[in-house]
Every structure is written in structure tokens, then in C-alpha cells.
Amino acid sequence: MVKLEWLGDESQRHDWVTLLQNTFSALSSLETADVLFRQMSPLAVAGGEKLFTAGTVDEACYFVANGRLKMIDPAQYAKLGKPATVRLGRGDVTGLEAFLGQTTQRYEVTAVRDSVVLRLSRDAFDTFARAYPTVAIQFLAALAHHHIQALSTPPTPNPAGLSIALLPLHTTVNIDKIGTAVWTALEQHKPALYLNRTGFNKIFQKEDTADLPARAPRNLELVNWLQVKERKYTYFVYEAEPNWSEWTQRCLRQADVILLIADATASPIPSPMEEQLAAFARGARQELVLVHPAQTKQPSGTVKWLEPRHGRVQAHHHTRHGHLPDYERLVRRLTGQSIALVLGGGGARGIAYLGVFHALQEANIPIDFVAGTSMGAIMGATLALEIPDDTLLKVAHVLSQWSRVFDFTLPVVSLLESNTLTDKIREVYGTADLEDAWRPFFCMSSNLTRAAQECHQTGPVWQAIRASSALPGLFSPVVNAQGELLVDGGVLNNLPIDTMQKLHNPHRLIAVNVFAANKLADRYNLDTSVSGWDVLRNKLDPRQESSPVPLLFQYLWRTIVLNDVHQARRKLKWADLYIEPPVEKFHMLAFSSYEELIEMGYKAAQDALKDWNTLKIKAQ
């Protein structure tokens, strides 16, 4: 922290005096506010620097004049196991407990970016109170009210003035083009300002401006300038350099989010820049951006990048050079504008999801997160990994030929040996890991050993999907690394809206269900014992009047997901758009009807999406 000597900048003083008067109505005139201001000490606090820690003996309170700080209650941290954070911006106050008589500070307060605070000691306030006793009493009441209001207001996940630093890990990444892509995507939402070394020096008309250290006297001018710009721009993009320069450090000090921009074709070993960043210990959120060549079909080896950065990187993104939709997706995730798609299980009926995908694409509705269960997992993974539709249709054609799929075995574990299903899943998804998906994807299975849901976010895609679609009794279960049995996710969570909400908290959530809570269409007249041979004989003999019989696969699946059918109604409160293609007439193995299923999914989505623009208008 550096105490700022007053440099005689009257416009700056007038700005801060006006801020005090506008914040506290007790300061009825600029003259009174100016008298109070003269009792204060302006302090420069560099981004990442602590203003004070809990237990500090300091009978003073602090007003945020410029910048942003965060306040953490250690007592709440110990109680909840996670930090209870309050964000402080221009006009907010902190340190009130010590100022009013507690003598020690209760909170830990850290500058999120380069900031200026106005320190008011108790002795200095007493001097003001002797001259203006009535105003002083009213000011204290307003001060307490303002502080309580700040504590009771939950922090927004993406506040106004979100600052993003782009830190290139390799000299081979074209940071100018990437920065422009990020800025362009941000501008689609709210005004954004893009700053790099050259532009910053040009603005201040001095070649050394970008290299000013945080404690330089002139830094106050830069902090004030940025504060003014925050009133005009919602987002800031800082283009850092692949070396530990003063400009790079400024970018990092200003950032709410640091994007580590990596060349996906380079070595995944952490760079020296990352080691310096770890020592910098700013506390800003870090996310990894793997930039792939423009023609990349499928990322691979993502785990090698994530493992050595475990605990440092909170999320990762895959982008392609020159592919703006990838950067638009990245920006939606950063700014809280993401759209999620959740797909339920339902056997062959899930082929209808292809039609839903086409309708979403036609309506220009991008999907940023994908989740599914059973057939919803199979279909959702194709969207997340951008696998061509024709690949899946070939598999559907094979699945429609039951004799080639149903590899019956002695029914000790299951009716089917399940080799064919496993082979087809591996054929589609190859060696890809869930971490390799262009869009973050997870799927659900049911852990029989622990009687719990299993959410698959890491590991081979084929294995996760095979577990998610292992219908108990029909297909053999999957054994995980801990030796636990995993079966179809529909047993416990056939439409994982709640899991999507918990993991990613999307701005908009679209849920699609092909196994709705409708009743079975038929009414049955059966004895307590049913011979399959008799049923077959009646079907083949035209002289016999055949009564409807529940097919094994159909009622087995319905039995499995019956509990979740009722849970789905409760979970729909998180869905902004719910699509339910009318596919009840198709049984669970009707893969040969894929063309009709796709068309029904397409039309159902088209009808539902008529409400989408209304949703967007309400959100604004």
C-alpha cells in the first residue's frame, strides 16, 4: 500500500468529494463533503494486495474511491468450508467494525485490481465531528446502513466491468487475432474495451506508460482513467505478453479472469510464465484455452494439459484458429450467458434428438453445455464432440437389425453379452476423453454398489456412455476403477436437469424428453402367467384375436425410470424451455424408424422454439 501525496489535481478531488456526497445523504453540501475528505488519506492498493487482514489493529474505515476489492469473513470460511465473499466497488465502505469501536478488523480485504481507497481514522473523524456534530451523527447512521446493505447483497457471479486478461503461454499463438475474436464476441453482448501495450501507450501519448509499476506516482492517473472507462464499458480485454513485463503484471492485476492461451500442438508441460503466475498469487480465476489449428476435427490429449494444472485452472476451453463461434461460446461461459441442453433417456426414441439439433441450429441457438442419460448421453456426446450425423445414422441402421446386435448369452449377469453395443459405441467415439469435447459434456449412470448417482465428467467417452446406457438385465453392467457396478443412468436420473444446474448454472436451460410421464396407451387383459410362445402363436394366427401385451424391453425400461418420471416434474422448474416430441407410439427398439423420429423431433423443437425470443426479451 502506498499513501498518495495530493498532487493538486482539482478535477480528481472534485470527483471523490462528489462521490462522498452522492453516497451519503448526510453530507448535504459539497463544502461539508470536502471538509470530511480533507480528513481522509488516499491510499493506492495494487491488485492482489491485502488492504488488511482479520485481527489487524486499525481503528479506521475505508471508502473505495476507484477500483474493486473483495471482503472475506474468515469465521464464515471456517464454518462453511468455503469463503463468504462480498465484492466492494466504487462508493462502498469496509472496516466499519474496527472504526466503531471493535479496534481490530473482522474481515480480510484484498484489492481485486489496482484501486484507490480513502482511509478515515477514528481520530480524524472525531476532528470532523467536533466541527459538524449533527452531520457526524447522521453520517454514522448512513455509514452503518450502507455497510449492512453491502453485506446482505449476494455477489453477482459476473459483475459489471468484468476484466479478462489474455496470457499467452507460447509465442506461437496469435494473441492479436485471439484477442480480437474475444473482443468481437464480447461486443455482441455489451460494450467492451480492448487494451494492449501499443494502444495503452498511444492513449497516454507516452511510450513508457504501459511499463509503469504499480507503486509509481503516475499509476494513480491510470487507475482513475480505467475507473472512468468502467462507467462506459462493461467488459475489458487486456492483452498480456509472453514475458513477465510490467505491462503483463498490470493486465493480471486488473483481471477478474485470467485466460491461459495455449498452443494445443505445443508441449503440455507448464511454462515458466505459469510458475511466475503462481507466485504472483493474485487469486483471480484462471481458465485454460487450448487453441487448435483451424482444421482440427477432434481435440485429443486434453488430460495431459489439465493434470499438471490441477488446482490452478478452474475450467478449460477448446477453440480453433479463426473460428469465431468457439470464442463466442467461450465468452458466453465467461459472462454468464451460456445455454445448456439436457437430453433424457428413451431407447430408439432418442434418435428424435437429431431433429432437435437441426431445429436449434436453424434458429441460431448455440449450445454451450450438454448432458444426457442413456440414449440422451449417446446423442448428446455427438453434439458435444461435433460428430457428423451420418456416423450416428449408420449406427442406428445397424441397431435396427436386432439379430446383429442382440448377442444373447447364458443370462447369469444379463440377457446380452453386450459386446456388439460396446463395439458400436467405441466405433463412434474412438479414443476421445470427455475432457476433449468442444462443448463441456457429462452423462449419468447409476452406481449399484453405492446406491448413488454417478456423474461422468472425465475419462473415456465410450466408457461413460456404455455405463449410462447399460439397461439392467438386458445389457451387462460396467465396472469402474473402484470395482463398483454401474448401470443405466435412468434408474436414478433420467433427465439430469438438476445436475446441470448445480455444475454449470447456465443462463438458459433447454430440456428434451422422449420418455414423458404419460400412461401406457394400451389396457391389458392377461392372466397372472403369460407364455411367450402363446403370444407369438396368437400373433401369427390370423384367426386368433390378439390382445395387447407389454413388450419386455418396454415395461423393463418403464419400470426402471418410473421413479425419475415423477422427479422430472419437480426438476422442470430449472428448465427455461421444455421440448417433448410426441414419440410415444414408437417402442424402445424402433431404430429402423429413425427418419420419422428425426422429423418428429425437428417439428416438436420448431414449435417449442417459438417461445425462445420471448424468453430472451424477458432476460434483458
DSSP string, 537-582: HHHH-TTS-PPP---HHHHHHHHHHHHHHHHHHHHGGG-SEEE---
pLDDT at 417: 56
pLDDT at 158: 46
State pLDDT tens for residues 368-419: 999 999 999 999 999 999 998 788 777 666 666 554 555 555 454 455 555 6
Q: Which residues contact 199 (CB under 8 A, 6 or more apart)?
A: none
Q: Looking at the domain that runs over 339-522+533-619, which CATH code has it been given? A: 3.40.1090.10
Mutual angle of helices 352-362 and 389-399, in 10-degree steps: 160
- How many other β-carbons are positioned within 10 Å of the β-carbon of residue 215? 10
Structure confidence at residue 618 as a pLDDT band (50, 70, 90): very low
pLDDT at 617: 46
Mutual angle of helices 246-254 and 272-280, in 10-degree steps: 50
Q: Where exactly are the structural domains of the chain?
A: 2-152, 162-334, 339-522+533-619
Instruction: Pick left, alpha or beta for residue 301 (phi over 0 → left; psi -120 to 50 → alpha; otherwise beta).
Output: left
Q: Looking at the domain that runs over 162-334, which CATH code has it been given? A: 3.40.50.300
Percentage of the chain beyond pLDDT 90 is: 51
State pLDDT tens for residues 501-524: 999 999 999 999 997 655 555 555
Residue type, 359: A
SS3 5: coil
pLDDT at 440: 98
Contact 517, 583 (CB under 8 A): no
State pLDDT tens for residues 239-258: 999 999 999 999 999 999 99
State pLDDT tens for residues 418-446: 567 788 888 889 999 999 999 999 999 99
Report, in angstroms and rounded to the nearest whole number, the Rg of the chain calculated over CA atoms. 30
Q: Which CATH number fits domain 2-152: 3.30.420.10, 2.60.120.10, 3.30.230.30, 1.10.3720.10?
A: 2.60.120.10
pTM of this prediction? 0.86
What is the rounded distance in angstroms from the CA atom of residue 314 to the CA atom of residue 180?
23
- Pick from 377, 352, 510: nearest CA to 446: 377
Instruction: Pick left, alpha or beta for residue 205 (phi over 0 → left; psi -120 to 50 → alpha; otherwise beta).
Output: left
Residue type, 311: G
Residue type, 74: P
Structure confidence at residue 5 as a pLDDT band (50, 70, 90): low
DSSP string, 57-97: B--EEEEEEES-EEEE-HHHHHHHSS--EEEE-TT-EE-HH
